[in-house]
Structure 1
Amino acid sequence: MTPPVVSIVAKSGTGKTTLLEKLIAELKMRGYRVGAVKHDAHSFSIDHEGKDSWRLTQAGADTTLITSPAKVAMVKQNPVGQEPSLAETVNSYCGDLDIVLTEGFKRSRMPKIEVHRLERSATLMCRGEEHDPTLIAVASDQPRQLDVPVFHIDDAAGLCDLIVARFLS
């Protein structure tokens, strides 16, 4: 897939978003164009009820774009029960990027970095009851002996070195 995708996975409240913020900042500092995709298992809305774009979507528009000099936002209606795969989403919307980092998508076949905090769980999602072969690293607040590299949860530079070596070199 172009660009490469790395998924940041963890149990809720572990620090996925915080780590993603650090990884994005570090990759941007190194000159890369970075995309971020957040998976939401529930329905969400970026439109606000009563606004023109919301009204157009409510009227039946399958795709509504909102543009300004600073950014573009899109509301694209998926057919009922047909969420596009991560690969389809990345291929459709992220072709101009060097890498895409995702939050969630724990069941995808994309390479994963698991965030782990002992206070949240003693076991890992990807090395617990199931062995996920797509796990490439763990960011933890505790030292761990694993079959993949383990980084301190705050070592965004080290994780970026791994990402660059594996996917951007």
Structure 2
Amino acid sequence: MSNHRSTLTILQVVGYQNSGKTSFVSELTERLSATGFRVGVIKHHGHGGALDLPMTDSHRHALAGAVLSSVISENGTFIEWKAVDTFELLVNWYEAHVDVLLIEGYKQKNYPKVVLVREGFEQPVNLTNVIAIGDSVKDRNRLMSSVEGWMAYELVSSE
């Protein structure tokens, strides 16, 4: 079942390295998918260096110079896109294919955000559209409830 609407609901999950972003996004993806939403995720690789990609035939094509390379199977499709300024293009592409887009990272983008901060660590500054802040472990239930409440409001207000 899909609750697909013409307007994409976008939520960012931000925080410093090791704040629990990936675990939080994974759990949120699982919860939303279980309720029938088609969920997409964009993860920011903000630490520099090469992407950790498997050595597949399609990756060999990319290494040989292909700008766009993909492999398709009965279980899904893997696409490798060798362009650096693709964020907005990806958001537009996701809009046609998912109901909810979760963005892990990209702190300075202007979408609604959940900010994850480990106890005793510094909180990111100069963020916009913050809907919830907390520790990804200690405050997980409260943060998930905040997101679910925000999503319920967003879904009603966008109809």
Is the structural similarity TM-score above 0.5?
A: yes
Return the match for 2:135 from 135, 140, 159: 140
What residue number does 2:10 align with? 5
Asked whether the equivalents of residues 38 and 99 of structure 2 are also in contact (C-alpha less than 8 Å), the reply is yes
Give the aligned residue type for 1:30. Answer: T
Query: Which residue of 1 is the match for residue 21 of structure 2?
Result: 16
**Correspondence for 2:75:** 70
CA distance in 2 between counterparts of 1:168 and 1:72 reads: 29
Please point out which of 149, 154, 158 is paired with 1:167: 154
Q: Give the aligned length.
A: 149
Over the matched positions of the two proteins, sequence identity in percent amounts to 23
Question: Which residue identity lines up with residue 31 of structure 2 in the other structure?
Answer: E
1:48-107 C-alpha deviation (Å, 9 max, x unpaired): 1xx4223322332221110000010111111xxx4223x321112442211111111111
SS of residue paired to 1:154? helix
One-letter amino acid matched to 1:97: V
Deviation at residue 46 of structure 1 after TM alignment: 2.0
1:98, 1:27 → 2: CA distance? 10
* Matching residue of 2:140: 153
CA RMSD of aligned residues (A): 2.5
Deviation at residue 27 of structure 1 after TM alignment: 1.1
Q: Distance in 1 between matches of 2:60 and 2:32?
A: 38
Gaps of 5+ in 1: 143-150
Deviation at 1:157, TM superposition (A): 4.2
Higher helix share: 2
* Secondary structure in 1 matching 2:11: strand
Number of the residue aligned with 1:118:
119
Superposed CA offset, 1:95-145 (max 9, x none): 2211111111111111111012213x1x4214xxx3x23212113379xxx
Name the aligned partner's letter for residue 84 of structure 1: T
The residue aligned with 1:103 is: 104
Runs of 4+ in 1 over 4 A off after TM superposition: none
Alpha-carbon distance between aligned partners in 2 of 1:156 and 1:28, rounded to the nearest angstrom: 18
- TM-score, length of structure 1 as denominator length: 0.76
TM-score between the two structures when normalised by the length of structure 2: 0.80
Take 1:68 and 1:141, find their aligned partners in 2: how far apart are those partners? 35
Which has more radius of gyration? 1
The amino acid across from 2:30 in the alignment is A
